[in-house]
Structure 1
Amino acid sequence: MEATEIHEFTQEMHEASKGDTRYISLIISILAVLVAMVTVLGHRTHTEAVLLQSRAADQWNEYQAKKIRQGQISMTSDLLSLQPSSNSIAVQQKLNSYKAHMEKLADDLIEEQRKAEELEHEVSRAERRASRYDLGEALLQIAVVLSSITLLTKQRIYFMLGLGLGIAGLLLAASALLVH
């Protein structure tokens, strides 16, 4: 290249990069902020899923403990009814007490199971939301990279692809709010 060509090329690059570079840099900065926001939402949603899973496990443990207690009372009742006794009235009162306790446990078991299943549903919902945040985050990160390539290559196709992926990532992340 001759000196005049180099000067012309430098002048063209300087003029072309004045407006476009600022605009593209601003969009990249906005995309980076959106990546950070979606990342935080994704992490919070993953944490929520883990905490809900722990609560669901605790609820199932409560269910299991009551189920075991019900089985023990049932076995005790059966053994008590088979034992010979000199005070059949006291035995019958105790059997009636055990029967009432078993009926209450049966009702409690239904409620414990309902609560545990509800918590499992919430875990599933949180995991679906987290997956959308994760995919939205990935698309936004790719958008930042593609848009940055535009600054190096001066080819607007990378910027358009990045912008398209950024919008898709943002919409996907926003759709996590609609998961039921």
Structure 2
Amino acid sequence: MGDIELPDPDELRDLKEKTFTRRVALVTALFAVMLAITALGGNNAMKAMMLAQQQASNQWAFYQAKVIREHLYRNETFRLQLELLSDKASMKPEVRKELEAAISRVKEEEQRYGREKKEIEQEAKALERERDMNMAKDPYFDYAEVLLQIALVMASISILSSSRMVFFFALGAAICGTILCVNGYLLLFSLPFLS
């Protein structure tokens, strides 16, 4: 029979540490991918929030313009009605007819601006809701990024120190960061300190 060669304990320890290092490195790469997805979500939420705010501001300015025109037409209606009342007795029938037609046209314009401003108001409020939704998402992405960055650093430290406890801490931070990232996209729950 041949001699049985016993493995060297130092080689076994090195092999065990290399396996741990490879696994932690692989998981760390997944942390980095999750961090990239989180950063993308945060950037997109911030851009969407700013764009919706700008568009809402534009709509409110348009709304104000419609309100001003509506008031101008309302004032013109009052002016024409007063003119009609003050000169009713001495006014020729054809002039009176023209004045009444003018009052009718001015009232129609006033009503048109009133309808248009309501549509614009609805659009502005919808844009404000979109802004608010993206504003609510942003803090979740921010905290998720922080937790995932901490996870990356702690995973690197666990490789250098061969510490499983440090790796489990990194794993916990990454899981919390991932949950917050998913919530940033879907808003499944609300944390009171982020509202």
Bin for the TM-score computed over the shorter chain: 0.7 to 0.9
* Equivalent-residue separation in structure 2 for 1:18 and 1:176 (angstroms): 36
* Equivalent-residue separation in structure 2 for 1:145 and 1:123 (angstroms): 33
CA 1:121–1:107 in 2, change beyond 3 Å: closer, same or farther? same
Bigger mean CA offset, 101-110 vs 87-96 = 101-110
Partner of 1:62: 62
Aligned residue pairs: how many? 173
* Equivalent-residue separation in structure 2 for 1:144 and 1:54 (angstroms): 36
Partner letter of residue 71 of structure 2? G
Is 1:126 aligned to residue 134 of structure 2? yes
Q: How does 1:9-158 map to 2 (within 5 A)?
A: 14-83=14-83, 86=91, 87-158=95-166
Following superposition, the deviation at residue 10 of structure 1 comes to: 7.3
* Equivalent-residue separation in structure 1 for 2:126 and 2:18 (angstroms): 57
Following superposition, the deviation at residue 34 of structure 1 comes to: 1.3
Following superposition, the deviation at residue 177 of structure 1 comes to: 2.6
Which sections of structure 1, spanning at least 5 residues, go unmatched? 1-7
Q: Is the 8 A contact 2:70 2:110 kept in 1?
A: yes
* Equivalent-residue separation in structure 2 for 1:74 and 1:17 (angstroms): 84
Q: Is the 8 A contact 2:41 2:185 kept in 1?
A: no
Q: Over alpha carbons, which structure has the higher Rg?
A: 2
Following superposition, the deviation at residue 97 of structure 1 comes to: 0.8
* Equivalent-residue separation in structure 1 for 2:9 and 2:36 (angstroms): 38
* Equivalent-residue separation in structure 1 for 2:166 and 2:109 (angstroms): 71
Q: Could you say what secondary structure the match of 1:168 adopts? A: helix
* Equivalent-residue separation in structure 1 for 2:9 and 2:66 (angstroms): 82
Q: Is the 8 A contact 2:24 2:167 kept in 1?
A: yes
* Equivalent-residue separation in structure 1 for 2:40 and 2:100 (angstroms): 62
Q: Is the 8 A contact 2:41 2:184 kept in 1?
A: no
When the two chains are superposed, the root-mean-square deviation of aligned CA atoms in Å is 2.2
* Equivalent-residue separation in structure 1 for 2:81 and 2:109 (angstroms): 16
Answer 1 or 2: which has greater helix percent: 1
Which sections of structure 2, spanning at least 5 residues, go unmatched? 1-7, 189-195
TM-score (norm 2): 0.80
Partner letter of residue 96 of structure 1? S
